Structure 1
Amino acid sequence: MTYSMTAFARKEQSFDFGTLSIEIKSVNQRYLEPTFRLPETLRPVEMKLRERLKQKVKRGKLEVNVRFYAQSGADSLGVDEARLTAVQRALEKVQAQVTNTAPVNPLELLQYPGVLIDEALDIDAVNAALLNQFNDALTDFLAGRTREGEVLANAIAERLDDITTIVAAIREEAPEWVQTFRDNLREKALNLGAEINPDRLEQEVVMLAQKADVAEELDRLDGHVKECRSILKQKGAVGRKLDFLMQEFNREANTLGSKATKESITRNAVQLKVLIEQMREQVQNIE
């Protein structure tokens, strides 16, 4: 099963205590790089969210945005004294180092994240709801990755079919190469007015045929196609394996092109490189 690194999911739900909104989006990235944005009130639950995410996702640059809109009345607001004390101590250190600082407005202290709290808010209930809602959003997110991954896998499979067809076509033309070498050498010798030694001619043909032999490259290309199909069926993160395999594909196509002495073979080698580059672009989005 192939998974894409590009996906998006959003969940919003209203509760007695307010409304929770969760968004998860991701793009391709070599490693797993999650970023969480949530209110300070819910910050203690961030580690659990990270752990659940890492259990399901292995690669990608992810953004998780959590928004919370409380429904409690303004008369239930209170102050987190521990948080306020910590902020005041930090200000005292700054004032000790910086001279002529302006006095701090108490309202500014209240605006610092986590200082002003809702005393009527059941934070445990909010955290529990957040975890459940995050699981739902993560499920939708993974489903999106799966659907997109299937599209990528199908696109790669189509190009693998094309590569197999091109390799087979080159194999059919390969036996003609030796005869082409022989004819070219005989023609050059005749143009020079030289007497043709059949044994010498055959030796030259064999040497040139060995230099232009692409059987090994064709065998490797067939092997890479089989390996690629096998990897696409594996579970988990396979993007790095496929990325390495694309490099091997490209290496064989380059060698094949450098050995080509026939126009049709050259065209096929170029087409191979086009297909390989198209696959490489798809692979960049696979987990």
Structure 2
Amino acid sequence: MTAFAGAEAEIGSLLINCELRSVNHRYCDISLKLPERLRFAEADIRAAISARLKRGKIECALNYKKRDAEQTYEFNEAAVKGLLAATAAIEKYMDGPKPFSALDVLAFPGIQQEQEGERDSLQRGINELLDKALIDLVVAREREGEQLGQLIEDRSASMRKLVERAKARMPEVLRLLREKITERIKELVAEPDFDRLEQELVLLAQKLDVAEELDRLQNHIDEVSRILAQDEPVGRRLDFLMQEMNREANTLGSKSADKEMTGISIDLKVLIEQMREQIQNIE
């Protein structure tokens, strides 16, 4: 589902901002954008998101800025020495001033390091910040889910009407078919065998009978409404139901011996496809 949420908090010496974006996806696909200093929190962030969201392409971005310009910096001395040694070797092949300053060195990944104990407090603060953003994101997704649920219910109601039309139409279809075949045989055969004709008509009626398909469609429609009322992720179950409903609608169309029944089958498949597209957005 499409949704956005953001939260910001002061954690230790940092002001950290968290942004969550969610777009439609069949599975749960989590993408993280973290600065190097906060990379240690990646595993916990993924676990927290996957525990709350079961479907959608989720993008989580964290960024920070320092609250105190006067604060002291701790750095990885070995990393600095290694970096400067490498640049000194490269500078032999270069003319002009040095390519970067001490401030540039501090910006390199792995140079700055947290003060003792700061990582634990950062992790706790990030967990709380992410939880707050996730709550807002879930609320936004639920709001969209309610709207999508109503759209699906509306289409289910339209499908119920089509199924009832098909059930009411079927006896007339068989009657017209019987009359058509009887008249045709009378034209072709001087003395038709009406007993044999009756047997053939019974067999034909059995082949064209769609009562079971219509009953299953009705059951599937009822199941859609029941699933939508549940307070849990339902997207994949609805996906499966759409496949089953489409199969029944296709069978209805293939057995059709009447223009109106063919039209009902097409209308059913259009509604099923519309529902299927919306269900891709439902967790």
Aligning the two structures, in what range does the TM-score lie when normalised by the shorter sequence? 0.7 to 0.9
Residue 150 in structure 1 maps to residue 109 in structure 2 = no
Q: Tell me what 2:282 maps to.
A: 286
Shift of 1:272: 0.2
For these two proteins, the number of residue pairs brought into alignment is: 277
- 1:1-287 superposed matches below 5 A: 5-13=1-9, 17-73=13-69, 76-81=72-77, 83-84=79-80, 107=102, 109-116=105-112, 125-192=121-188, 194-287=190-283
Q: Secondary structure at the match of 1:134?
A: helix
Whole-angstrom distance in 2 between the partners of 1:42 and 1:188: 82
Cα pair distance change 1:238/1:85, threshold 3 Å: farther
Query: 1:1-46 deviations in whole A, cap 9, x for unaligned?
Result: xxxx332111234578443211111223333221222222222233
Shift of 1:127: 4.0
Q: Percent identity?
A: 40
Shift of 1:197: 3.0
Whole-angstrom distance in 2 between the partners of 1:233 and 1:88: 63
Structure-2-length-normalised TM-score: 0.85
What amino acid is aligned across from residue 76 of structure 1 in structure 2? T
Q: Secondary structure at the match of 2:281?
A: coil
Cα pair distance change 1:119/1:76, threshold 3 Å: farther
Shift of 1:66: 0.7
Quick check: 38-47 or 102-111, which moved more? 102-111
Contiguous gaps of at least 5 residues in structure 1: none
Q: Secondary structure at the match of 2:110?
A: coil
Query: 1:257-282 deviations in whole A, cap 9, x for unaligned?
Result: 11111111111111000000001101
Is this contact kept in 2: 1:12–1:20, CA < 8 A? yes
Shift of 1:254: 0.6
Whole-angstrom distance in 2 between the partners of 1:182 and 1:75: 94
Q: Secondary structure at the match of 2:204?
A: helix
Is this contact kept in 1: 2:12–2:121, CA < 8 A? no
Is this contact kept in 2: 1:8–1:24, CA < 8 A? yes
Whole-angstrom distance in 2 between the partners of 1:270 and 1:241: 24
Q: For the aligned residues, what is the CA RMSD?
A: 3.0
Q: Secondary structure at the match of 2:7?
A: strand
Cα pair distance change 1:184/1:88, threshold 3 Å: farther
Shift of 1:226: 1.9
Structure-1-length-normalised TM-score: 0.84
